[in-house]
Amino acid sequence: MTHVDWTRLNELREDIGEEDFADVALLFVAELQETLGSLASDTAKAADFHFLRGSAANLGFVSLVKACAVAEAACNGGDTPDLAAIRDTFAAALAEVAPQVPELASAA
């Protein structure tokens, strides 16, 4: 299973330019890490996962986009989101992208 839409990630790289790509990608990853680090299952809101989903989509982290959509729907339905699944999916996406984007290897 692939966790990354390489076409999307490469489009982002082309749009931003090679020089600034690593900085922008690291910014998205840092925002994801910060938000994930502050979430708790009993206080997480749909808006948290909506934010995460947007950042993940920008990076092409397709499996994380899907996991965030499930968590967002759970919150909207009054259920507890599966934060472990979100964190595991994020880690898997980072692990997949790190060999191709060495600047992100330190974030993994």
What is the pTM (predicted TM-score) of this model? 0.91
Token pair of 80 as six digits: 């507890």
Our count of domains for the chain comes to 1
Q: What is the pLDDT of residue 66?
A: 97
Q: What is the pLDDT of residue 54?
A: 94
Read off the pLDDT of residues 6-25 as tens digits, 9 standing for 90 and up.
Answer: 999 999 999 999 889 888 88
Alpha-carbon dihedral 21, 52, 96, 85, rounded to 10 degrees: 170
| Rounded-to-integer distance, Cα 97 and Cα 108, Å | 9
3-class DSSP state for residue 4? coil
Residue 72 falls inside a structural domain: yes
User: CA triplet 60, 55, 30: central angle to 5 degrees?
Assistant: 110
Residue 28 falls inside a structural domain: yes
Read off the pLDDT of residues 32-80 as tens digits, 9 standing for 90 and up.
Answer: 999 999 999 889 999 999 999 999 999 999 999 999 999 999 999 999 9
Note down the domain range covering 54: 6-104
